[in-house]
Amino acid sequence: MFKKVLIANRGEIAVRVIRTLRELGVPSVAVYSEADRSSLHVRLADEAVCIGPAMAKESYLVIQAIIAAAKVTGADAIHPGYGFLSENADFSAACRDNGIAFIGPSPKSIQQLGHKAEARKMAVKAGVPVTPGTKDCVSVKEAAAQAAKIGFPIMIKAAAGGGGKGIRIVREAAQLANEMNMASSEAKAAFGNGEVYFEKYIELPRHIEVQFARDTHGNVIAFPERDCSIQRRHQKLVEETPSPAVDKKLRAKLEKAAVDLAEAANYVGVGTVEFLLTQTGEFYFMEVNTRLQVEHPVTECVTGFDLVREQLLAASGEKLTYTGGNTVPLQGHSIEHRINAEDFSRNFAPSVGRIEEWLLPGGPGIRVDTHVYAGYNLPVYYDSMLAKLIVWAPTREMAVERSRRALAEFKVKGVKTTIDAHQLIVDSQDFKAGKTDTGFMERLLAPAEPAAAK
Per residue in 372-409, pLDDT tens?
A: 999 999 999 999 999 999 999 999 999 999 999 999 99
- Split into its structural domains, the chain has a count of 3
Q: Which residues are catalytic?
A: 291
Report the pLDDT value the prediction gives residue 283, as an integer from 0 to 100.
95
What is residue 34's DSSP assignment? G
Phi, psi of 232 (to 5 degrees): -135, 120
Report the pLDDT value the prediction gives residue 454, as an integer from 0 to 100.
47
Domain end call among 178, 200, 222: 200
What CATH number is attached to the domain comprising 192? 3.30.1490.20
Q: Could you tell me if 318 and 380 lie in one domain?
A: yes
Which residues are within 8 A (CB) of 452 and not within 5 positions of it... i.e. 6 or more apart?
A: none
DSSP string computed for 319-360: PPS--S-SB----SEEEEEEEESEEGGGTTEE--SB--EEE-
CA distance 357 to 374: 5
User: What does the mean pLDDT of the chain come to?
Assistant: 94
CA distance 81 to 78: 9
Q: Could you tell me if 173 and 295 lie in one domain?
A: no
What's the distance, Cα to Cα, between the start and end of the chain in Å?
A: 74
Rounded to an integer, the average pLDDT of 29-51 is 97
Going by DSSP bridges, is the β-strand pair 5-7/77-79 parallel, antiparallel, or unpaired? parallel
Domain presence at residue 453: no
Q: Could you tell me if 65 and 147 lie in one domain?
A: no
Domain presence at residue 450: no
Report the pLDDT value the prediction gives residue 450, as an integer from 0 to 100.
54
Which range marks the domain in which residue 192 is found?
132-200
Longest dimension (CA), the chain: 77
Domain presence at residue 452: no
User: What's the pLDDT band for 448 if we cut at 50, 70, 90?
Assistant: low
User: What's the pLDDT band for 192 if we cut at 50, 70, 90?
Assistant: confident
Residues 384/402, Cβ–Cβ less than 8 Å: no
CA distance 123 to 126: 5
Share of the chain above pLDDT 70, in %: 98
What kind and span of H or E run contains 214? Answer: strand 206-214
Give strand pairing partners of 213: 221, 270
pLDDT digits (tens, 9 = 90+) for 57-116: 999 999 999 999 999 999 999 999 999 999 999 999 999 999 999 999 999 999 988 777
pLDDT digits (tens, 9 = 90+) for 138-177: 998 899 999 999 999 999 988 886 667 888 999 999 999 9
Q: Could you tell me if 174 and 252 lie in one domain?
A: no
What CATH number is attached to the domain comprising 221? 3.30.470.20
Q: Could you tell me if 296 and 395 lie in one domain?
A: yes
Q: Could you tell me if 258 and 307 lie in one domain?
A: yes
Domain presence at residue 119: no
Q: Could you tell me if 74 and 168 lie in one domain?
A: no
Domain presence at residue 395: yes
Domain presence at residue 416: yes
Rounded to an integer, the average pLDDT of 35-63 is 97
Q: Could you tell me if 192 and 234 lie in one domain?
A: no
Angle, CA of 345, 83 and 376, to the nearest 5°: 55
Domain presence at residue 109: no
Among the listed residues 20, 33, 26, the one whose alpha carbon sits nearest the alpha carbon of residue 5: 26
Rg from Cα positions in the chain:
21
CA distance 101 to 407: 39
Q: DSSP 3-state assignment of 70?
A: helix
Rounded to an integer, the average pLDDT of 316-331 is 92
Q: Could you tell me if 140 and 242 lie in one domain?
A: no
Tell me which of 114 and 232 has the higher pLDDT.
232
CA distance 246 to 6: 38
Q: Could you tell me if 33 and 155 lie in one domain?
A: no
CA distance 231 to 245: 17
Q: Could you tell me if 72 and 142 lie in one domain?
A: no
Q: Could you tell me if 196 and 217 lie in one domain?
A: no
What CATH number is attached to the domain comprising 28? 3.40.50.20
CA distance 361 to 374: 14
Domain presence at residue 118: no
